Structure 1
Amino acid sequence: MSFGHHFLRTPEAVAGALILAALVAMALTAPLLFPRDPLSIAGPALLPPFQDWSLPLGTDRLGRDVLAELFHGARTSIAVGLAAAATSIAIGAIVGTLAGFAGGLTDEVLMRITDAFQTVPGFLLALAFVSVVGPSLAVVVIAIALGAWTGPARVARAEVLSIRERDYVASARVIGMHPLEIAFREVLPNALPPVLALSSIIVAAAILVEAALSFLGLGDPNRVTWGGMIAEGRAVLRSAPFLSIIPGIALVLTVLGVYLAGEGVVEASAARKRQS
């Protein structure tokens, strides 16, 4: 049975995939459905949802379209989540491969550096980095990756330690391949699958960290973010709770969808291995 059949037979995986498909559809159609700047004034301030069908989810304190902000916020969440996951996995895979393959002093130094980063909570590290460097989308991605690369590094190192003594690695040494070429061309590709399994957790955590930074006013000021929308609604929480509830629900569903889809991929891969 193929991977796709195993995946589709897992209810939580299907639910996660449907949520992610809706999120991607929102992100892709945002410029088409809402071509205007989502931060521009669209109507009267604090218009409740379903009062004006040209503004179905109402407006915020400045009269901006909540639905347009929600769709454009999905673009920011996807961009930050995927970019932070790719950056942290790349850094972690390189560090873990070098540590596991070289061994000795190199392994010791790289693992102590990893321990040092791991002792600091990821959110505090991101908060400090963005506060010093300044808020922008690229800075937020780097800040999140700084706190997330340690997990992939440890997994990659463990896999490399189990792979580096195999016959094909010894054969590569015998024919005179450079150690770095062996590490990154022969060993790393076989060590990557367990590392990539962490991607769903990193994406979900990155989306939450970005939302928290935006809530504190440390997100990119030129982009709509769900965390910023929640913070915007905080001042009128009693009179217009929908301003915080709507992006909050979107954030929860997105993180849930990423987690469920990631778990479905892991379960489908495990089921396929058991059958093969």
Structure 2
Amino acid sequence: MSEPRVLLAGRGLVEAPRWHDGRLYFSDWSAGEVLAVDLAGTSEVIARVESLPLCSAWLPDGRLLIVSSPDGRLLVRDADGSLSTYADLGQPGWNDIVVDGRGNAYVNRIGYNPMAGEEFRPGSVTLVTADGTAREAAGGFAFPNGMAVTPDGSMLIVADSHRSELVAFAIGADGGLSGRRVWAALDGAAPDGICADAEGAVWYADVPNRRCVRVAEGGAVLQTVALDRGAFACALGGPGRRTLFVTAAEWRGMGVEELVAPGSGQVLAIDVEVPGAGWP
């Protein structure tokens, strides 16, 4: 495993990395932008959406889904760059998204607005099927965050940040979720964005602990990448999917106007031995 190298710097709260067609796509929540960057560090803005959070995922047909959290919509970006409504999620407050190989989109919702000082309400995961129909698929999360689907499409793993857990569900033939179980208990961790690899392990990003960690089912730590700022999310991509991309920034806290130090957002790249698998 190599040392982290900076692929892109000078951004804000960077999140939701997704490898697609030779480039890494990610969001800058501070700027309300979805961007793409190549392995040489050349970047471009591909969409602007005033949303916090701002996460995205690729459909099997090559279109990009973008979560518009304040108005409770799932947007789709077509080949000409235009945005339109893909699904109505029914209410505001949405967070992360992952799409499996059949086109099922899983979007989660925290349940309350911690930045506004609202009282706790449990979060949930909603399934949006390929026809745009949305229905709640699982609930009872303290703070649902990053999600990943295993390579065979049979399991969804959800990071519950405030419970320090990775939670697994079986994915049914209709995309529904069942058989909830704790996939890994992560003592003292705050798992944020996650991704899976070809050996069945999961990488999770951790903001307060400033690191990315690779764990096996059950929680055994396999590898740790220490950083000098908070790690918000990670994804495996690049040639052979052997590069771990990490979005990181200097976290200031939930109750401040600027959540991260301006210009501290970076996209980092680390070469790893075990390639990525599954989604994202």
Q: What interval of TM-score do these two structures reach, taking the shorter chain for normalisation?
A: under 0.3
More helix as a share of residues? 1
Q: Which has the higher contact order (CA 8 A, sep 6+)?
A: 1
Which structure's residues are more often strand, by fraction? 2
- TM-score, reference length from structure 1: 0.20
Alignment TM-score, normalising by the size of structure 2: 0.20
